[in-house]
């Protein structure tokens, strides 16, 4: 039975310059997704999607000390670290990485599902809005989502939608009905439920793939991390970290303002095909040092709970962000 279409699917967001239908569910352009193409996508190695000109500047986690390597690689998924002299170089590499994944997924199944966070990540996406990517990416096949959103009107200064729209979405030709934004007329619980219903419909019609464990499996999540190690709106020691029976949930006591937010749950993040964790600046160095360093502690931060079921996590860091890693990268 088809899932009910949520109000997010039917309502229209009116934002300056962009009367945009939210989460349209037309999927007529999709190519059939065979298990063969999925398997192929899972076998793609990190080096094949990493930009060749920066390969010499990259340090794989396998070159970290043994314990760090073991911890970082874990028992699930793959993990890599790329370190850049400047955020400018990081941004250029992130654009190339994203463009290559876009090409791969569109070739394989005719669509590319991309999730973004708020915060400084959006600024680091700026190179995607420039040549050559502006012209070469098949933006019409993109479907964009938010890993978390603040429960505020879309034209509010705190809105992640506004942040992404102003810094990224308004500059690239993604069809507005493929931009899946929060329904800002609803309360936090209502908006979370509405967003999850919208996702369920997109899974049902094949726009978003379903993971082996039954969660939505996005092609790429572009995430930032807070200086306390939070990802999305999943904060250290918060009970939301344990939610497994929801795809999207809500928080009313976020330690980072504003307090009311909706967020993807950890298993949804861990079901992704690819995750780019973008960390720039000295403010992230302590947590990067803990997450990727030698010392193992039981008190895992949210960012340390990323353990992809069957995907690849790549850290994009600048020098400042890795300045507290035990062995400094030799670039
Ligand atoms: C939010 C974000 C959040 C953000 C991190 C990192 O809505 O608050 O989605 O998860 O990504 O806090 O933000 P900075 O990179 O700005 O520190």
- Given this model, what pLDDT does residue 78 score? 86
- Given this model, what pLDDT does residue 23 score? 62
Candidates 3, 24, 22, 20; CA nearest to 183 is 22
- For residue range 197-210, what is the model confidence (pLDDT) as tens digits? 999 999 999 999 99
Alpha-carbon torsion angle 150, 153, 157, 159, nearest 10: 30
User: Which residues sit opposite 146 in a β-bridge?
Assistant: 116
Helices (H), 62-112: 66-73, 87-109
Average pLDDT over residues 247-269: 98
Average pLDDT over residues 13-31: 36
130: pLDDT strictly greater than 50: yes
Average pLDDT over residues 70-99: 81
For residue 254, the ligand 1 atom closest to its alpha carbon is: 8
Whose C-alpha lies nearest to ligand 1, atom 1? 118
Whose C-alpha lies nearest to ligand 1, atom 7? 118
Ligand 1 close to Cβ of residue 256 (< 6 A): yes
What share of residues in the chain are helix, strand, coil (percent, to 5)?
A: 40, 20, 40
- H/E stretch holding 41 reads helix 35-43
pTM of the model as a whole: 0.81
Q: Highest-confidence range of 8-22, 119-133, 287-301, by mean pLDDT? A: 119-133
For residue 280, the ligand 1 atom closest to its alpha carbon is: 15
Average pLDDT over residues 177-193: 97
Ligand 1 close to Cβ of residue 175 (< 6 A): no
- H/E stretch holding 165 reads helix 160-167
Which string of b and e fits 245-262 if b means at least 16 CB within 10 Å?
ebbbbbbeebebeeebbb
CB 149 within 8 A of CB 160: yes
238: pLDDT strictly greater than 60: yes
Cα–Cα dist 327/57, whole Å: 15
Q: How many residues are present in the chain?
A: 331
Rounded to an integer, what is the distance from CA 131 to the centroid of its chain?
23
Determine the 3-state secondary structure of 116 from DSSP.
strand
Ligand 1 close to Cβ of residue 226 (< 6 A): yes
- Given this model, what pLDDT does residue 32 score? 27
Higher-confidence residue of 134 and 32: namely: 134
CB 53 within 8 A of CB 89: no
CB 277 within 8 A of CB 205: no
- Given this model, what pLDDT does residue 294 score? 79
Ligand 1 close to Cβ of residue 176 (< 6 A): no
Instruction: Choose which residue among 157, 163, 224, 276 to substitute to test ligand 1 binding: the one with the highest number of ligand atoms within 8 A of its C-beta.
Output: 224
With cut-offs at 50, 70 and 90, classify the pLDDT of residue 77: low
CB 149 within 8 A of CB 159: yes
With cut-offs at 50, 70 and 90, classify the pLDDT of residue 48: very low
Mean pLDDT of the chain: 81
- Given this model, what pLDDT does residue 298 score? 85
Whose C-alpha lies nearest to ligand 1, atom 12? 226
Higher-confidence residue of 5 and 327: namely: 327
Handedness of CA 90, 92, 98, 103 (dihedral sign): negative
User: Which residues sit opposite 261 in a β-bridge?
Assistant: 150, 251
With cut-offs at 50, 70 and 90, classify the pLDDT of residue 273: very high
With cut-offs at 50, 70 and 90, classify the pLDDT of residue 134: very high
Instruction: Choose which residue among 226, 256, 262, 301 to substitute to test ligand 1 binding: the one with the highest number of ligand atoms within 8 A of its C-beta.
Output: 226
Contacts of 36 by beta carbon, 8 Å cutoff, 6+ apart: none
Find the angle CA(86)-CA(100)-CA(30) to the nearest 5 degrees: 140
52: pLDDT strictly greater than 70: no
Find the angle CA(81)-CA(239)-CA(245) to the nearest 5 degrees: 85
- Given this model, what pLDDT does residue 326 score? 76
Tokens of 124: 């680091």
Cα–Cα dist 150/314, whole Å: 26
Whose C-alpha lies nearest to ligand 1, atom 13? 119
Tokens of 253: 């006591």
236: pLDDT strictly greater than 70: yes
221: pLDDT strictly greater than 50: yes
For residue 283, the ligand 1 atom closest to its alpha carbon is: 17
With cut-offs at 50, 70 and 90, classify the pLDDT of residue 20: very low
- Given this model, what pLDDT does residue 260 score? 98
193: pLDDT strictly greater than 50: yes
Higher-confidence residue of 43 and 154: namely: 154
Give the Cβ contact number of residue 80 at 10 Å.
21
Lowest-confidence region among 18-27, 82-91, 212-221, 301-310: 18-27
CB 51 within 8 A of CB 93: yes
């Amino acid at each position: 039975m088809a899932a009910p279409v949520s109000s997010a699917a039917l309502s229209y967001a009116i934002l300056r310059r962009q009367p945009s239908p939210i989460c349209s569910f037309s999927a007529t352009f999709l190519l059939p997704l065979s298990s063969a193409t999925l398997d192929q996508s899972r076998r793609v190695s990190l080096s094949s999607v990493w930009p060749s000109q920066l390969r010499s500047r990259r340090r794989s986690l396998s070159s970290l000390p043994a314990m760090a390597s073991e911890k970082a690689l874990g028992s699930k998924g793959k993990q890599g670290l790329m370190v850049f002299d400047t955020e400018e170089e990081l941004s250029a590499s992130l654009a190339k990485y994203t463009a290559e994944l876009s090409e791969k997924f569109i070739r394989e199944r005719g669509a590319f599902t991309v999730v973004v966070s708020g915060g400084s990540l959006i600024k680091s996406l700026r190179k995607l809005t420039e040549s050559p990517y502006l012209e070469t990416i098949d933006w019409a096949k993109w479907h964009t989502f938010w890993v978390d959103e603040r429960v505020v009107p879309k034209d509010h200064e705190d809105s992640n939608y506004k942040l992404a729209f102003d810094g990224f979405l308004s500059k690239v030709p993604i069809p507005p009905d493929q931009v899946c934004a929060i329904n800002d007329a609803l309360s936090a619980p209502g908006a979370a439920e509405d967003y999850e219903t919208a996702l369920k419909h997109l899974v049902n019609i094949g726009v978003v793939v379903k993971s082996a464990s039954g969660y939505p499996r996005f092609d790429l999540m572009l995430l930032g991390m807070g200086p306390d190690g939070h990802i999305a709106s999943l904060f250290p020691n918060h009970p939301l970290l344990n939610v497994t029976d929801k795809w999207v949930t809500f928080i009313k006591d976020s330690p980072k303002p504003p307090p009311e937010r909706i967020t993807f749950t950890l298993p949804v993040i861990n079901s992704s095909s690819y995750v780019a964790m973008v960390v720039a600046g000295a403010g992230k160095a302590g947590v990067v040092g803990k997450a990727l360093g030698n010392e193992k502690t039981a008190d895992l931060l949210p960012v340390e709970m990323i353990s992809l079921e069957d995907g690849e996590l790549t850290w994009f860091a600048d020098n400042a962000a890795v300045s507290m890693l035990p062995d400094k990268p030799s670039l």
